[in-house]
Amino acid sequence: MKFIDEARIEVVGGKGGNGAASFRREKYVPFGGPDGGDGGRGGSVYAVADENINTLVEYRFVKRYQAEHGERGGSSDCYGKGGEDIELRMPVGTLVVDVDTEEVIADLTQHGQRVQVARGGKGGLGNLHFKSSTNRAPRQCTPGEEGEKRVLRLELKVLADVGLLGMPNAGKSTLIRSVSAAKPKVADYPFTTLHPNLGVVRMNDAQSFVIADIPGLIEGAAEGAGLGHRFLKHLSRTGLLLHVVDLAPFDPEVDPVREAQAIVEELRKYDEALHNKPRWLVLNKLDMLDDDERREKIEAFLDGLNWPRDVADDRDGFDMAAHRVFTISALTGEGTRELTRAIMDYLEVARAAARAAAEVEKQQAAEAKAQRSSLIQPVAGVDD
């Protein structure tokens, strides 16, 4: 199935049913009075996260989704039937944005999450609501409300722990094939990868993480050059970026340092938060270099990039835990085990910190609630 990660649709809530104006008419019951019921509410439209769906392709073909209208109220105090709600099932990781206001309506990050994206209209009131001592035969009733209408932009951002970035042919797809069961296409020409690929890296039965490979970036990607700019948003949810660098390019005119700097600049121009994410260097294709050439190229690259070597060498305020260097050969697997082990250790610490922060936030919320409750004193039984 073709990977579709963006779509635009229109959603419309159902119209509420009109209220009824009728009167009770039975034998031996003179002046029965009003008995017009209310109209039923219109159906609403909901977005639901479904882990069994991995693309927005179906929303490219059907552009408009209309919930059912509510039924009109009837006589004998009968209320109209409410319209049926409709659910739009979307991949986990979908962001739902109102096109007109740019408001984020839903961020579907968990399976089964259900968010209303278009509200159905309320049903109209029947004339039984307008009865009073001075108006015993009301003929008033109100129409049902129109349902909410919205144009939505759907953006799928893949949910991954680790994101790969780099120039075309840096070896990202080969790396993800080497460390996971994913099988992206690999070839010796640029832009082999045309859409994001996800792979699950399993360290053991209890430890695993998800790694995402996106199409290669080129200089000017933030302005729309190449393919990678369409998928930069997929890196925004990742906790760690791996910057894969080709240390042995076929073209001798290619400067790995300049290419690496260009990638970092594209991240900065696209999104400052993405640029500030923890980013590790992964120097690839060591199998194409002998031992002496390896050391020479690695040292020259790190010097050219002004990358710190250890904790004591903390230039430019680098956090060494978030800016490490690994040398690998994705083709032969050399160094990949050490890389994945380091990633797993890093993510375990980050996950523990996130759980602790969530627990603290939950505790603070409970304490604030308890404090608000203590300020509300009962008035019954208080002595004057």
Residue-range domain boundaries for the chain: 6-156, 162-349
Known binding residue 330? Answer is: yes
Q: What's at 96, amino acid-wise?
A: V
pLDDT at residue 206, rounded to an integer: 79
Known binding residue 378? Answer is: no
Question: Rounded to whole angstroms, how far apart are CA atoms 74 and 67?
Answer: 22
Known binding residue 171? Answer is: yes
> pTM to 2 decimals?
0.65
Known binding residue 286? Answer is: yes
Known binding residue 121? Answer is: no
Measured in degrees and rounded to the nearest 5, phi and psi for residue 123 equal -75, 150
Residues contacting 338, CB < 8 A, separation 6+ = 326
pLDDT at residue 182, rounded to an integer: 64
Region of 26 (left: φ > 0; alpha: ψ -120 to 50; beta: rest) is: beta
Rounded to the nearest 10 degrees, how much is the dihedral formed by the CA atoms of 310, 313, 317, 321?
A: 10
Known binding residue 135? Answer is: no
- Over the chain (384 residues), the average pLDDT of each successive run of 10 is 70 94 81 86 94 82 93 89 93 90 90 93 91 85 93 85 84 85 57 65 84 68 50 77 87 83 83 85 88 86 78 51 84 90 90 85 86 67 48
Known binding residue 194? Answer is: yes
Known binding residue 30? Answer is: no
Known binding residue 252? Answer is: no
Measured in degrees and rounded to the nearest 5, phi and psi for residue 110 equal -135, 140
Known binding residue 193? Answer is: yes
Vertex 50 angle, CA 47 and 51, to 5°: 150
Is 80 in contact with 71 (CB distance < 8 Å)? yes
Strands ordered across the beta sheet of 197-202:
197-202, 208-213, 162-165, 240-246, 279-284, 325-327
Residue range 162-349 in CATH 3.40.50.300: yes
DSSP β-bridge partners for residue 280: 242
Known binding residue 170? Answer is: yes
Known binding residue 173? Answer is: yes
Known binding residue 287? Answer is: yes
Known binding residue 310? Answer is: no
Known binding residue 172? Answer is: yes
pLDDT at residue 238, rounded to an integer: 83
DSSP β-bridge partners for residue 264: none
Known binding residue 336? Answer is: no
Known binding residue 195? Answer is: yes
Known binding residue 90? Answer is: no
Known binding residue 176? Answer is: no
Class of domain 6-156: mainly beta
Rounded to the nearest 10 degrees, how much is the dihedral formed by the CA atoms of 316, 298, 254, 235?
A: -60
pLDDT at residue 2, rounded to an integer: 44
